[in-house]
Structure 1
Amino acid sequence: MQSAIDFQQLANAIGDAIIISDLHGSITFWNPAAEHMFGFTQSEVLGKSLDLIIPERLRGRHWDGYHKTMSTGETRYGNDVLRVPAVHKDGRSLSIAFTVALLHSSQNELSGIVAVIRDETKRFQEDRLLRKRLAELEASAGA
């Protein structure tokens, strides 16, 4: 027996950020986990560009890929996890991991994209420290 799932309840309860944007990259949905992760309230982001959370140096590459996805209707990140830097409202850097899915209208026309995002900043920093320590140990062992 299948029960109907209340999307809003799910989106509000889940610990991962859910962000939906339209064909042009304007934010149309922003759940509480996205507020917590990025520091922007829903009212601050709805209708605004994804540039709010994309580091300036990566925006060109991001928009090239975004527009290609919107024009072809295909993405390679539906099953593969993409790990990229992002920006918090206060300007600090985040390391995020996410997958995306394409959204379609009732007429089966591409209407936007949803990203499910996890903050991996702490894990990324820990991995970097471990790699640094390993390099130090290897250097001292070879000396």
Structure 2
Amino acid sequence: MTDTIDYEQLVNAIGDAVIISDASGAITLWNPAAERMFGFTESEAMGQSLDLIIPERLRGRHWDGYQKTMATGETRYGHDLLKVPAVDKAGRAMSIAFTVALLRSPQGEVTGIVAIIRDETARFQEDRALRKRIAELEAKTPA
């Protein structure tokens, strides 16, 4: 006997943010982890543009890539971990890491993108502080 998987329960229980956006970039799924991470409730996020979490300076580049992916049905980020800046509801800068997958209709047309996102802000800040400290120590070390 095969047990069926309750995908809604899975998406709601997972610790990483799961965000799905449709072909136009409107948010169609926003799980509880996304709410905790970015500060927007599900009702605030649903139907909104991904601009909700994309820093203004990066939006042009993001949408160029998004539209190209929708047009071609291909993404070069399907298996690579992307690390990019983001913003939360309060406007605070964040560092996130995520993977994406294309969602397709039964006819094979791309209907949207799912992103699985982790907040890497603390780790990013720790790495930056360590790199700075190493540079300071190397500068003090006689050649």
Which interval holds the TM-score relative to the shorter structure? over 0.9
What is the rounded CA distance, in whole Å, between the counterparts of 2:120 and 2:3 in structure 1? 33
Report what 1:131 is aligned to.
131
Report what 1:66 is aligned to.
66
Unaligned runs of 5+ in 1: none
Q: Secondary structure at the match of 1:142?
A: coil
Q: Report the CA distance between 1:4 and its aligned residue.
A: 1.6
The answer to whether the 8 Å contact 2:19/2:31 transfers is yes
The answer to whether the 8 Å contact 2:73/2:109 transfers is no
Q: Report the CA distance between 1:105 and its aligned residue.
A: 1.4
Deviations 1:52-101 (A, max 9, x none): 00000000000000000000000111100000000000010110000000
Identical counterparts, % of pairs: 74
Report what 2:108 is aligned to.
108
Unaligned runs of 5+ in 2: none
* Residue type at the aligned position of 2:49: S
Q: Report the CA distance between 1:2 and its aligned residue.
A: 4.2
Q: Report the CA distance between 1:48 and its aligned residue.
A: 0.6
CA-atom RMSD in angstroms: 1.1
What is the rounded CA distance, in whole Å, between the counterparts of 2:105 and 2:3 in structure 1? 23
Report what 2:94 is aligned to.
94
* Residue type at the aligned position of 1:36: R
What is the rounded CA distance, in whole Å, between the counterparts of 2:59 and 2:2 in structure 1? 42
* Residue type at the aligned position of 2:75: T
Report what 1:9 is aligned to.
9
Report what 1:81 is aligned to.
81
Q: Report the CA distance between 1:14 and its aligned residue.
A: 0.5
Q: Secondary structure at the match of 2:139?
A: helix
Report what 1:44 is aligned to.
44
Cα 1:8/1:137, change in 2 over 3 Å: same
* Residue type at the aligned position of 1:52: L
TM-score normalised according to structure 1 size: 0.97
TM-score normalised according to structure 2 size: 0.97
What is the rounded CA distance, in whole Å, between the counterparts of 1:30 and 1:57 in structure 2? 23
What is the rounded CA distance, in whole Å, between the counterparts of 2:74 and 2:26 in structure 1? 19
The answer to whether the 8 Å contact 2:53/2:86 transfers is yes
